[in-house]
Amino acid sequence: MAASADNSAATAAAAGPAGSTLPAELKAQFDEQIKLTAIRIPKQNTSQYMKLLSKHLFNKPRLRNVMEDPSDPDLRLLLLEETLVEADLDSRQIEGAASAKTVAELVQADGLQVTTAHVDVDYSYWPAHVVLRRLLPEGLEVPSSFESVGHIAHLNLRTELLPYKHLIGKVILDKNPRLKSVVNKLASIENEFRVFPMELVAGQEGTETELRQHGARFRLDFRKVYWNSRLEGEHQRLVQLFRPGEAVLDAMAGIGPFAIPAARKGCLVYANDLNPASFEYLCTNIRINRLAGKVLPFNADGRDFMRQAAAGRLDVAGAAAVVPASAEGGKGRRGKQQQQPGQQQQRSQQQPAAAAAAAAPAQSPGAEQGAADAGPQQGPASGSCSGVFHHIVMNLPAAAVEFLDALRGSFCPELWQGQPLPLVHVYTFCKGEQELAGVRQRVEASLGGTLDVEPRQHVVRDVAPGKIMLCITFRLPPSIAFAEANKRQKLEQ
């Protein structure tokens, strides 16, 4: 039964900002007795019937699914799952019984009896949505989901739920023991670093956390960097397109959700992010995943980074020096040998030989299925500069398409001679069918030229009603990549 409007304010006050769990007086409201369908069985055959009916039993943590029969000490009551009533037993299949295929047939064949039983339950039994439905005022929509980031639960509460934010946070912590903190988003992302203001509504202070995706470790401070756990499937999908030995240019890399898995797969990754905090955690994640020399970190403007890479002028010696191999596997929270963003250029000449080796990836077996063959990978343009690359990843959906102008005329003809130009994977948002139909025109307008073939469009996820996130993939045309060189050649003629 939902909390009345009269006591909802008292309920919210009782939940208070202090502590990480609901107070005892609120939990006591959930002490109840529930009625379950049960099967009366001989005591000596309890194990046999529990095995046969295991899929249909009342299987809940800390609660038993067999109890004594109060009418006969030689019998036991086998409790069935909450949703089952006697009429449903004809449709419930069982395996391993010689004389029956359904629960109802087993009951009849063995001369058993269907009855009911009453079980005492408390607050720990009820799932979060049931608890909140009872405690929140009638008519309010119960939060149905949240994002988990390591030990942090991330909420985006509607305005009408804000008076009950501490209550909601504490219920989430109670029902998810591995979580330690609950934060609520206060405003949308409106800055170049893709971070948003948040407040702690329950649990421990501190937003630095660690999580795993596809076998890789990621450390981050959720308050300082961008992270979206809902993109885990997209990270995996895109990395699957990369081949071992290919080089990947990750222009808006964040803390490395594409870069780290790609390097673990055998790619060389040039990873860049403008946010100093993201750069710091990118370096940390390179170190704790033992990928020094396989992910080369940069802290630069995305346009400048792509232009320098296209021209073969990335300072890979300086990038390799930021996370030297000797720093891998350190136990410190940041790693004492890791440098701050402003120190990257100071050590750019310290390890030229190591950097040159790191920047020369193996021969590529080709681009992903359906794309043109990628051909062999060329090594660095010089002992301390970058070489060619097979993929460009631009994961900044709000603005990445606008950054495509950095690719026009930026490619060095001598460096790229005889080499396939990279596949570009650019993320964007679209609202409505009209914007979706105009994606190619937006891409071409930013590139300042026409694509040779229709770009591939992959719908990543629904962001909001009528708004989707897309990944647009296309091969960069020579007419765009070498636009300035072509212009100069025409003028000379």
Binding residues for S-adenosyl-L-methionine: 235, 273-274, 301-302, 395
Terminal Cα-to-Cα distance of the chain (whole angstroms) = 84
Task: Classify 244 as helix, strand or coil.
Answer: coil
* Bridge pairing between strands 268-272 and 295-298: parallel
Please, are residues 493 and 442 in contact by the beta-carbon 8 Å criterion? Answer: no
Look-up of token digits 């909802």: 8
The two structure tokens encoding residue 400? 């990445």
Please, are residues 299 and 273 in contact by the beta-carbon 8 Å criterion? Answer: yes
Look-up of token digits 């081949």: 243
Q: How many residues does the chain have?
A: 493
Distance CA(424)–CA(345), nearest Å, equals 28
- The pair phi, psi for residue 442, each rounded to 5°, is -65, -45
Distance CA(170)–CA(181), nearest Å, equals 9
Residue 36 DSSP class: E
Show binding-site residues. 235, 273-274, 301-302, 395
Alpha-carbon distances, residue 98 vs 49, 109, 110, 400 (angstroms): 13, 10, 11, 63
The two structure tokens encoding residue 306? 């792509």
Q: How many CB atoms lie within 10 A of CB 141?
A: 11
Please, are residues 457 and 472 in contact by the beta-carbon 8 Å criterion? Answer: yes
List of residues 6+ apart from 225 with CB closer than 8 A: 193, 195, 254, 255, 275, 277, 278, 281
Q: How many CB atoms lie within 10 A of CB 67?
A: 16
Look-up of token digits 């100093």: 276
List of residues 6+ apart from 488 with CB closer than 8 A: none
Q: How many CB atoms lie within 10 A of CB 337?
A: 15
Burial 282-314 (b: 16+ CB within 10 A, else e): bbbbbbbbebbbbbbbbbbebbebbbbbbbbeb
Listed in order, strand segments (DSSP E) in 260-346 are: 268-272, 295-298
> Of 126, 206, 202, which is closest to residue 164 (Cα–Cα)?
202
Q: What single string gives the DSSP state of each residue in 322-338? A: HS-GGGTT--SSS-TTP
